[in-house]
Structure 1
Amino acid sequence: MARRPTIKDIARRAGVSESAVSFALNGRPGVSDGTRARIRRVAEELGWRPDSAARALSGERVGAVGLVLARPAHTLGVESFFLQLVSGIQEALSAAGTPLLFQVAEDLDAECALYRRWWAERRVDGVLVVDPRTRDPRPALLTALGLPAVTVGDPRPAPPLSSVWADDARAMVQVLDHLAALGHRRIVHVAGLPDLAHTARRIDSLRIEARRRGLRPDEVRSVPTDYSDAEGAAATRRVLCAPRPPTALVYDNDVMAVAGAAVAAGLGIPVPARLSLVAWDDSALCRVTHPRLTALVRDTAGFGRLAAEELLAVLAGGPPRVRQAEQPRLEPRESTAPPPPAY
């Protein structure tokens, strides 16, 4: 294996002292502009990069940020939302030359333990925090550690954290407006994990809007799942086999919506003639399923870019702030139609 180039190698190649190399590469005075340029050119030719461990020991920034996902591992491989989100995050960080340290944790306790370890080992300069909880220990922990952070999905972050978020409540209103205009009055929301803040906002919005429209709470309701296709299918089967099944189902992700469509087909329930389906967060799955699924569309990669850009701004000394991402918009397709008269 080739040896990593050192400051001594650069000094020998450039014909200067090691202290001159240190001054030049760390932006300190003590060398002329011409010498500084020559040293940096030699460093680039040799493929030299700063030693992040040494920089951490000296108290400097290590030049990396972290992201932890505390989700069931079996739900991540098939859900396109996080793939698109991480793609946008990586795009913004790559443009800034900042690496991303990414890890999946078993649960929230494991995630918090990772933050403590990263802070103690000075592995990252800051973190992106996804999936805000209704009772979330992470903001207090990160504040106590002094680890800069941006939460993704929290409209009211705990000071001094920054946040980027999308309005899930208004998105749910769009869905209900569409279904109510078609004549649906029995609507079930196949929700995600109930302790996630954005899930709670969707559930609350559904309940508030149903009450405002005079719809019965036993016929417009939410059922929680873990976001997986298996639980989405099981929830779909339960509600469709009930004495008064819904005429419309709203799913919290694309994977559950496609699984639900398969369950309906297996039960002999045609979509949309007897059952309308709506998916949260559009994807290729929604567009290739037959019939194509009505879905909420947003720029998820752009959401990730916004989060990463905000974290970079915080690390550059910017003030904490809250930034709202593009509002999701409903795109009606062939999976929604008026309910049959008998229903």
Structure 2
Amino acid sequence: MRRTPARRPTIKDIARRAGVSESAVSFALNGRPGVSEATRTRVRRVAEQLGWQPSAAARALSGEGAATVGLVLARPARTLGGESFFLRLVSGVQEVLSAHGLGLLFQVVEDIGAECAVHRRWWAEHRVDGVLVVDPRAADPRPALLDELGLPAVIIGAPDDAGRPLPDHGAISTLWADDTGAMASVVGHLHALGHRRITHIAGLPELAHTRRRMAGLRAEAERRGLPEVRSVTTDYSDTEGAEATRRVLAAPRPPTALVYDNDVMAVAGLAVAAERGVPVPGGLSIVAWDDSVLCRSTHPALTALARDTAAFGRHAAEELVALLAGGPARRVEDVTPQLVVRDSTAPPGS
């Protein structure tokens, strides 16, 4: 059973409590003529008792004010320093918000519990009128919380392991790309080159997209009859990416190809290969998720899954703006990342 959101009081609530019409409430609260001073005083007193505040989002979208959208990253701050994905995503978000007179309130916290606490505080303090939510998780508590609060939101990424969008959660839209299909294209490329031992240096295991990529890798390996394919999880940092690379390359039967969940780890892995005297791509092929200037600037340049991350951010912000303007919640699939083949992949032993 859906819970009734802990919604903010409205003009209708004030009118009912004060025993006047909604238009009289609007006149009184906006300082317009048309009501007596006694009515104006009574309406303002009731508004204060109910904790009513004017909708900053509605004023901003009509050009009369400035509202704020929130974004919380629940990842260890140390892992974000070299992460270009979020910078590009936020640049796209900011482009849309600026055009609509909306500000962005950004915070980094250590875990999902702290993020939920931030959402509750922001809602209670009227700090934000909507939020963007990243890194969906299995059994994610955030959609139910945001639904309870009645806080409009866009979830960036499919929230469950199967890649299905959220069930109905009121004013919550979802925007995602097909991670499973993208992983299938990587495995298909490496298989066509002749690789049979492939290791996926994955990100945080609790994230839904990490789990989907791992599941997609297993499914594609099974379909193609590749028994020596596996995933190793990390925290997305260059340090853990490098350490994971050292471990797998030191195995008795090391992989001939590595697939990294971000560009930072892929570049770190390339450095480890050089450190160990393993030629890329002759002795080891490397593929990175989310193409960036890092992938294009290394030698050899890295084969990578490419998408317009700034456009992904713009699309997420556009969905949230539509919700703030009173539009319905939507489930939107974005463009699937496309594999860009460069010099870091070749047949094994070439």
**Please, what TM-score do these two structures have when normalized by structure 1?**
0.82
1:188–1:222: 8 Å Cα contact kept in structure 2?
A: yes
Counterpart in the other structure of 2:75: 71
**What is the aligned partner in structure 2 of residue 33 from structure 1?**
none
Report the Cα offset of residue 60 of structure 1.
Answer: 2.0
Give the match for residue 223 of structure 2. Answer: 212
- Report deviation, 1:304: 0.4
**Aligned position for 1:189:** 200
Tell me the equivalent position of 2:104: 100
Q: Secondary structure at the match of 1:127?
A: strand
Unaligned runs of 5+ in 2: 1-25, 35-47, 57-66, 159-163
Distance 2:336 2:208 in 1: 17
SS state at 1:86 partner = helix
Match of 1:286 in 2: 295
User: TM-score normalized by structure 2?
Assistant: 0.81
Q: Distance in 1 between matches of 2:51 and 2:265?
A: 47
* TM-fit CA distance, 1:296: 0.4
Q: Against the structure 1 CA distance between its residues 80 and 27, is the aligned structure 2 distance closer, same or farther, given a 3 Å change threshold?
A: farther
Aligned residues with identical type, % of pairs: 70
Alignment partners' CA distance in 2, 1:287 and 1:60? 48
Question: Could you tell me which residue of structure 1 aligns to residue 145 of structure 2?
Answer: 141
The SS at the match of 1:64 is strand
Corresponding position of 1:243: 252
Deviations 1:151-200 (A, max 9, x none): 00024124222100011000001101100000000000000001101111
1:225 aligns with 2:229: no
What residue number does 1:274 align with? 283
1:250 and 1:73 map into 2 onto residues whose CA distance is 24
- The residue type paired with residue 287 of structure 1 is R
Report the counterpart of residue 18 of structure 1 in structure 2: none
Verify the 8 A CA contact 1:139 1:158 in the aligned structure 2.
Answer: no
Counterpart of 1:117 in structure 2 is 121
Hey, what's the Cα distance between the residues in 2 that align with 1:338 and 1:27?
Answer: 75
For 1:318-337, list aligned pairs within 5 A. 318-337=327-346
1:131 to 2:135 alignment:
yes
The one-character-per-residue Cα deviations of 1:27-80 (angstroms, maximum 9, x if unpaired) are 9787xxxxxxxxxxxxxxxxxxxxxxx9x9543223211000001101111010
Q: Counterpart of 2:10? A: none
Deviation at 1:333, TM superposition (A): 0.3
Alpha carbons of structure 1 residues 243 and 316: separation in structure 2 relative to 1, 3 Å: same
* Residue of structure 2 equivalent to 1:176: 187
Partner residue in 2 for 1:4: none
Partner of 2:55: 61
Residue 252 (str. 1) matches residue 252 (str. 2)? no
Q: Which amino acid aligns with 2:222?
A: R
Q: Is the 8 A contact 1:88 1:305 kept in 2?
A: yes
Moved more, 205-214 or 140-149: 140-149
Question: 2:173 aligned with 1:151, yes or no?
Answer: no
Is 1:301 the counterpart of 2:310? The answer is yes
Cα pair distance change 1:28/1:162, threshold 3 Å: farther
Q: Secondary structure at the match of 1:104?
A: strand
Which residue number in structure 1 is paired with residue 6 of structure 2? Answer: none
Matched, 1:90 2:94: yes
- What's the CA shift for 1:324? 1.2
Q: Which runs of 5+ in 1 are unaligned?
A: 1-21, 31-53
Q: Which amino acid aligns with 1:156?
A: P
Residue among 306, 312, 320 paired with 1:311 = 320
**Separation in 2, partners of 1:100, 1:197:** 25
In structure 2, distance between residues paired with 1:223 and 1:106: 22
Please report how far the alpha carbon of residue 134 of structure 1 lies from its aligned counterpart in structure 2 after TM superposition.
1.1
Partner-residue secondary structure (3-state), 2:102: coil
Instruction: Tell which deviates more after alignment, 67-76 or 154-163.
Output: 154-163
CA shift in 2, pair 1:101/1:269, >3 Å: same
Residue 41 of structure 1: aligned partner: none
